[in-house]
Structure 1
Amino acid sequence: MTAVLHAFADEAEPAGRLAAALGVEVGQVALHGFPDGETLPTVPTVAPTVLVYRSLDRPNPKVMPLLLACDAWRRAGARRLVLVAPYLSYLRQDAVFAPGQSLSRDVLGGLLGPRFDRLVTVDPHLHRTVDLSASWNTPVTVLSAAPVLAAALPDLAAPLVVGPDEEAGAWASALADALGAPHVTFHKERRGDRDVRLTLPDDLAIHGRSVVLVDDVCSTGVALERATQRLREAGAASVDVAVTHALFDDEALARLKQAGARRIVSSDSCRHPTNAAPLAGLLAAALRREFGPDGS
């Protein structure tokens, strides 16, 4: 056995799907909590290569146990550690936008990069970083969720793919390619966390069309809610929402439906009621080279 996959209890289901797709054993990291809030991870039996499944949504309680587990894996004899993190947090600050702020992208990279030999992630929330591998000084494989999101929307006829703003253009383009459809983006003017103005190109014909509204991350849901409203007001026959990383709560989900979203689908990078696009096959295809004779 040259490789095993390890995961934490709260992500046993997606880790199990990935292990099945790879044909490897899966082991669970045990976490002991002390009364003062500290945690002590105990890792299962290791192999020369340990694939670690840990999506970093809601990262603050996840990161420290992961770092401690890295030490445990190495001490137990793992020669190669590969982090499978479908969602990577703390990437929105990939530049210092105002004096006194941190560059959280590099803080996270400083924690993960030296401890893992490779990272695999999906649709990282980056707009100014071209090469995350260079920023973190470790190989980072970036995958697109577009194929699995397209597979979760199988019944669309001649859809139009729309991004809620220009920053979503890359994800709109990728999903449009997967669906064989045209794409366009809204122009967004943000006046606050929950105050957003969206406008469409004047010459765009929406009336009677099936529309797929796509973004990489949905947290508050405000932009997607406003975009759904605008599309329905413009006469869209239907609006389906597709997001890679579903971080929004039940209230935001209800608001999206009330705004007129017919269907909301997400990948299983983060556990959510809208999960309809499992990433196991996509991740497994990217990880197969870890089983070569030299593990490189």
Structure 2
Amino acid sequence: MSKASIILHAFPDEARPARALASALGVECRFVDVHTFPDGEILPTVPETAPTTIVYRSLAQPNDKLMALFLACDAWRRAGAQRLVLVAPYLCYLRQDIAFAPGQPISQKVIGQLLGDRFDRILTVDAHLHRTPTLSAVFPQTSSTALSAAPVIAAWLRQAPQLDFVVGPDVESASWVGQVADALGLPYRLFSKTRLGDNEVRLALDNPAEIAGRSVALVDDICSSGGTLIEAARMLKAFGARDVAACVTHALFDPSVDTKLRGVGARGIVSTDSVIHPSNAISLTPVLADALRGEVRD
């Protein structure tokens, strides 16, 4: 066990944001080694632990990551970690909060139990919760912290010249859009959305004439297929927007989405580094470090 009282562990594919967070906290950063056997089984080996071990692991493309994480939890405890803190900027399997059809699981409950039973505290950013009121409802057995990327997104958008409006692609984006707009001191608008299929939506915006000639930030928490954002950007340009810049917290989309956004007249898309992606332009380190300072002081 390390002589330090707190240490940060991460996985090599997320070295950059993990090192940035460790530096902001003034703690050492070390990396878990994951060996894959010929049959596909994996064996993680954790480095020296500390009484409080912060684990940085974003959970996009989660299935292989989760298995390595669960096995590593056993190794961390055996190595002497008394307190395990999971920093998962993107947290998976939260959308399926009810059984939408017979025979389906409630994935949110499953992931809540699996992670909540292994970690003493869980932090995430812009959790994809809709019918679930709070993150603590997902993790009733452990401490959890729901953070917002709005402050760092707003800080990045302040660089945009003459920004006039913040727009959300659907009513589900209201909380994120409102926070960003309030931080910038700007009005915001929300599209209403009717989903016609997995990749087809119909959008509508009240009083679209006010968009003409304006510079618009199109903001959402998550982008996967990109269909809604692309249609929203297309319509904003059709309404006469001078400029449209798309900005999301979690970049789960194929890089071609950026090309498609530019194809409808937008400036493309940027994201936070919650998920490693070519569109990353906004660091979550300030938000995460502020939330973790109590761990370091304690």
Is the structural similarity TM-score above 0.5?
yes
* 8 A contact 1:51–1:82 mirrored in 2: yes
Q: How many pairs does the alignment contain?
A: 293
Distance change >3 Å, CA 111–CA 204, structure 1 → 2: farther
Give the gaps of 5 or more residues in structure 1: none
* 8 A contact 2:258–2:268 mirrored in 1: no
Shift of 1:204: 5.2
* 8 A contact 1:152–1:265 mirrored in 2: no
Equivalent positions of 1:281-296 (< 5 A) are: 281-293=286-298
Residue 142 (1) aligns with residue 146 (2)? yes
Equivalent positions of 1:67-78 (< 5 A) are: 67-78=70-81
Residue 85 (1) aligns with residue 88 (2)? yes
Residue 192 (1) aligns with residue 197 (2)? yes
Shift of 1:203: 6.1
Residue 120 (1) aligns with residue 86 (2)? no
**DSSP 3-state at the match of 1:56:** coil
Q: Work out the percentage of aligned pairs sharing the same amino acid.
A: 58
Letter in 2 for 1:136: F
Shift of 1:179: 1.4
Letter in 1 for 2:85: V
* 8 A contact 1:149–1:265 mirrored in 2: no
TM-score normalized with structure 2 length: 0.96
Residue 171 (1) aligns with residue 176 (2)? yes
User: In structure 2, what is the equivalent of residue 32 of structure 1?
Assistant: 35
Question: Which whole-Å CA distance do the structure 1 matches of 2:92 and 2:69 have between them?
Answer: 14
* 8 A contact 1:91–1:104 mirrored in 2: yes
Distance change >3 Å, CA 15–CA 130, structure 1 → 2: same
Question: Which whole-Å CA distance do the structure 2 matches of 1:64 and 1:183 have between them?
Answer: 41
Question: Which whole-Å CA distance do the structure 1 matches of 2:224 and 2:115 have between them?
Answer: 24
* 8 A contact 2:211–2:241 mirrored in 1: yes
* 8 A contact 2:130–2:172 mirrored in 1: yes
Residue 276 (1) aligns with residue 281 (2)? yes
**DSSP 3-state at the match of 1:81:** strand
Give the gaps of 5 or more residues in structure 2: none
Q: 2:185 aligns with which of 165, 180, 192?
A: 180
Shift of 1:155: 2.6
Equivalent positions of 1:23-62 (< 5 A) are: 23-62=26-65
Residue 255 (1) aligns with residue 260 (2)? yes
* 8 A contact 2:163–2:217 mirrored in 1: no
Shift of 1:100: 1.6
Letter in 2 for 1:123: D
* 8 A contact 1:151–1:277 mirrored in 2: no
* 8 A contact 1:240–1:264 mirrored in 2: yes
Between 202-211 and 222-231, the greater mean CA deviation after superposition: 202-211
Question: Which whole-Å CA distance do the structure 2 matches of 1:276 and 1:180 have between them?
Answer: 22
Question: Which whole-Å CA distance do the structure 1 matches of 2:223 and 2:259 have between them?
Answer: 13
**DSSP 3-state at the match of 1:196:** strand
Deviations 1:6-59 (CA, angstroms, capped at 9, x unpaired): 000101111011011111000000111111101000000010000000000000
Shift of 1:217: 0.6
Question: Which whole-Å CA distance do the structure 1 matches of 2:209 and 2:20 have between them?
Answer: 41
User: In structure 2, what is the equivalent of residue 65 of structure 1?
Assistant: 68
Deviations 1:118-170 (CA, angstroms, capped at 9, x unpaired): 01100011111112213322211011101111122213324211110111111
Question: Which whole-Å CA distance do the structure 2 matches of 1:64 and 1:254 have between them?
Answer: 34
Q: Which runs of 4+ in 1 moved over 4 A?
A: none
Residue 155 (1) aligns with residue 160 (2)? yes
User: In structure 1, what is the equivalent of residue 269 of structure 2?
Assistant: 264
